[in-house]
């Protein structure tokens, strides 16, 4: 009687290089995919916010001192132009109506720098178009009769003097609210704007020789500035000083009172 020898058992396959590297590689791919999805969602949300809610700008000049300083970074509410209206005292950012800003003399930047700034602007970390916009305070609404100045150096709006001492910067305590006289009626669809640094601001007063006669079309307004975000020691909401204009009546309809 013969006995059949059983074949030796094959050793169980141990963990080889292929079985360890593949799951590890797949894990990194999943991680990178998740990071990419998160980044894309963040960019999409930032685009929506920038397009419909708020935008970031920096202040390139001293025309709004001491309310806004050079290199301050501000947030601008873009909802107001779409669903609301402006009030006297609002601080607005608007596109150049034409001829307010001098032609740019900055040299062309390398494409890599332009691309990097464009990417940063998508998430609100850069404001490449700040130099093409202006920031001023609304003094006159459509139909308002705005005059400078009365016997004590105050601007009047619809024959009511406004006391701007809390926010304007003038050379001396007894200086008039504007060094240049004006007498205008704001046309429909436009605004009359002044910088808070009254004697160093090229605003509506200094652009009456332009095609728009110094008025800012409301269609040019990007939105209302409401928050200083940088530097951190100046972080805070902007004061529109609406109380200064509380006694100003609505303008009379064209042609006088009915």
Residue numbers annotated as active site: 63, 136
For residues 99 and 103, what is the distance between their CA atoms, to the nearest angstrom?
9
> Coil, strand, or helix at residue 142?
coil
Residue labelled with tokens 């100045």: 149
CA torsion angle 239 243 244 249 (round to 10): 130
Burial label for 124, CB within 10 Å (0-12, 13-18, 19+), is middle
The token pair that represents 82 in the structure block: 């779409």
| Number of neighbouring beta carbons within 10 Å of residue 73 | 20
Q: What Cα–Cα distance (Å) separates residue 221 from each residue in 86, 124, 193?
A: 10, 19, 11
Closest CA to 137 of 229, 224, 250: 224
């Amino acid at each position: 009687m013969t006995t059949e020898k059983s074949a030796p058992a094959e050793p169980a396959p141990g963990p080889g290089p292929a079985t360890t590297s593949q799951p590890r590689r797949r894990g990194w791919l999943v991680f990178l995919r998740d990071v990419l999805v998160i980044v894309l969602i963040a960019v999409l949300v930032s685009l929506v916010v920038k397009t419909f809610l708020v935008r970031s700008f920096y202040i390139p000049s001293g025309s709004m001192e001491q309310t806004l300083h050079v290199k301050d970074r501000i947030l601008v509410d873009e909802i107001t132009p779409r669903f609301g209206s402006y009030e006297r005292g609002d601080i607005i950012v608007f596109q150049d109506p034409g001829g307010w800003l001098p032609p740019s003399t900055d040299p062309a930047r390398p494409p890599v720098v332009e691309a990097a700034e464009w990417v940063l602007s998508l998430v609100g970390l850069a404001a490449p178009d700040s130099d093409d916009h202006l920031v001023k305070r609304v003094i006159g609404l459509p139909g308002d009769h705005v005059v400078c100045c009365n016997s004590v150096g105050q601007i009047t709006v619809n024959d009511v003097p406004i006391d701007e001492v809390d926010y304007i910067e003038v050379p001396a305590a007894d200086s008039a609210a504007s060094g240049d006289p004006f007498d205008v009626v704001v046309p429909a669809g436009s605004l009359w704007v002044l910088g808070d640094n009254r004697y160093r601001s090229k605003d509506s007063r200094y652009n009456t020789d332009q095609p728009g006669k110094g008025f800012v079309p409301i269609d040019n307004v990007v939105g209302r500035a409401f928050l200083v975000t940088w530097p951190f020691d100046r972080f805070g909401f902007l004061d529109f000083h609406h109380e200064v204009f509380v006694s100003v009546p609505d303008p009379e309809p064209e042609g006088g009172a009915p």
